[in-house]
Amino acid sequence: MTRIAIISIHSCPLAPLGGEERGGMNVYVREVSKELGRRGIGVDVFTRAKSPDLPKVVHLPENVRVVHLPAGKVEPYAKELVANHINEFTRGVLRFAASQEIYYDLLHGHYWLSGLVADKLRETWGIPFIQMFHTLSKLKNIASRGRLEKEPRRRVKAEQEIIKRADLVVAASALERIQMNRFYGASMEKIRVIPCGVDVNLFRPIPQEKARESLNLDHENILLFVGRIEPIKGLDTLIRALAILNNDRTMQNRPPKLLVVGGANSGNGDQPVPKEVARLKRIAGGLGIDKQIKFMGPLDQKELPYYYSAADVCVLPSYYESFGLVTLEAMACGTPMIASRVGGLPFTIKDGENGYLVTEGEPAELADKVKLVLTDEKEKLRLGDMGVNTTKEYGWETITSRLLSVYSELIELQPGGRELEEEPEEKIIHEHAKQ
């Protein structure tokens, strides 16, 4: 049986989503691992232990295990500090493999921190190593608005080194491939383009009335944002666009409402308001539209199809987005998508065909496009249908097949049976563990 070691040091595939540092990468690792396992590939996902309450090894159905190993304190801490514990984590992976007498055929690293681990493991094991970055610091730095958002030099250098040393690199779009070549000097020959995917069984259209009813939403004109709440996501632009719409005469009887799903918490109740949420609330307050915005906090992905389906339009106003899974999820639910023309977004959204693309940081342009969707029911339905069609080619099955064909450039794939036996002292779960 082919065995793959997936390194995802700071993004646990079992983590609840939406909060700080828990987003698209967690989903990608979770979905691809499950699909590889279903195809008879043995997968061990190595990730940092963040809580002493979680079992060291968690078995997922069909050939997949998540292995929690220490890297510094076994508690949540900022991902910037993970880089200080790469050697400890790497030693843990080596010890785990040795104690189980496991040999892996291939390493797959996610994000630069995991790339550092995978590179060290490769030196000991002598097996090929594939890397996927999810975001690249040089591109983030170009898009960032403030000095505090800049990524450290250490990360830039590490990415440069990993790109040089990995056997193959997976880019999420054709643009990212070119950017890796231009900004990091990566050889085009070693970069394969595979987009991210969407769970088309979970994300399906629900009739809007039914979705609104089940969420107790009686408002017309609902705008939706889903994602981590960070400056790079450009929510300030969306809030300013909402204020412009408020002053638009055609909208005055039906001022739109914005639902913001995601963030460490919504800042409601006893929890302290996260910094970016506080900044956004200040902007909204200054514009006099705070009552029209509801911060929902993080929600389980299973609830999201109701939110996407209830909304009239979903907006991703990011300054930089390597891919943007939320785009595919909204489209799969038949909700028109409006997103910035940055990074990987123009590869899924074709402007005017299955959604709209706008210039990042331009509220007036965004407001125009939102108004178009809100005031033209036929156009809204057309975009929704086109979106559903687009996502048909992005199911995780298809994406994993493409990934397997890249794996097979480096190793001979030998799918096997259920070789990963249950170990009595380890907990077996069939649902995502709560962290």
What residues make contact with ligand UDP under the rule CB under 6 A? 17-18, 23-25, 27, 226-228, 261-262, 298-299, 301, 304, 323-326, 329
> Looking at beta carbons only, is 184 or 203 nearer to ligand UDP?
203
Amino acid of residue 91? R
> Looking at beta carbons only, is 11 or 221 nearer to ligand UDP?
11
What is the spatial distance between Cα 221 and Cα 119, in angstroms, rounded to a whole number? 50
For the bound state, the minimum distance from the C-beta of residue 423 to ligand UDP, rounded and expressed in Å, comes to 30
For the bound state, the minimum distance from the C-beta of residue 325 to ligand UDP, rounded and expressed in Å, comes to 3
For the bound state, the minimum distance from the C-beta of residue 249 to ligand UDP, rounded and expressed in Å, comes to 34
Strand blocks (E) in 243-383: 257-261, 293-297, 313-316, 337-340, 356-358
Q: What angle do CA 392, 396, 400 make, to 5 degrees?
A: 120
Burial 367-394 (b: 16+ CB within 10 A, else e): bbbbbbbbeeeeebeebbebbbebbeeb
- Which helix (H) or strand (E) covers residue 58, if one does? strand 57-60
> Looking at beta carbons only, is 24 or 355 nearer to ligand UDP?
24
> Looking at beta carbons only, is 23 or 42 nearer to ligand UDP?
23
For the bound state, the minimum distance from the C-beta of residue 110 to ligand UDP, rounded and expressed in Å, comes to 11
> Looking at beta carbons only, is 214 or 408 nearer to ligand UDP?
214
Query: Considering Cα of 317, then 323, then 325, then 331, what sign does the dihedral take?
Result: positive
| H-state helical runs in 300-430 | 304-310, 325-332, 345-348, 363-375, 377-391, 396-410
Residue nearest to ligand UDP according to CB distances in the complex: 23
For helices 24-38 and 325-332, angle between their N-to-C axes, nearest 10 degrees: 70
The residues near 181 (Cβ < 8 Å, ≥ 6 apart) are: 187, 188, 191
For the bound state, the minimum distance from the C-beta of residue 84 to ligand UDP, rounded and expressed in Å, comes to 24
For the bound state, the minimum distance from the C-beta of residue 263 to ligand UDP, rounded and expressed in Å, comes to 8
Q: Which of 82, 79, 107 is nearest to 93 (CA)?
A: 107
> Looking at beta carbons only, is 25 or 69 nearer to ligand UDP?
25
> Looking at beta carbons only, is 233 or 371 nearer to ligand UDP?
233
For the bound state, the minimum distance from the C-beta of residue 98 to ligand UDP, rounded and expressed in Å, comes to 34
What is the spatial distance between Cα 19 and Cα 295, in angstroms, rounded to a whole number? 13
For the bound state, the minimum distance from the C-beta of residue 227 to ligand UDP, rounded and expressed in Å, comes to 5
For the bound state, the minimum distance from the C-beta of residue 251 to ligand UDP, rounded and expressed in Å, comes to 27
> Looking at beta carbons only, is 82 or 106 nearer to ligand UDP?
82
> Looking at beta carbons only, is 174 or 381 nearer to ligand UDP?
174
Question: Do the Cβ atoms of 185 and 335 come closer than 8 Å?
Answer: no
Residue 123, class by beta-carbon neighbours within 10 Å (0-12 exposed, 13-18 middle, 19+ buried)? exposed
The residues near 146 (Cβ < 8 Å, ≥ 6 apart) are: 231
First to last CA, the chain: 31
For the bound state, the minimum distance from the C-beta of residue 329 to ligand UDP, rounded and expressed in Å, comes to 5
Name the CA radius of gyration of the chain, rounded. 22
What is the spatial distance between Cα 175 and Cα 136, in angstroms, rounded to a whole number? 12
> Looking at beta carbons only, is 42 or 267 nearer to ligand UDP?
267
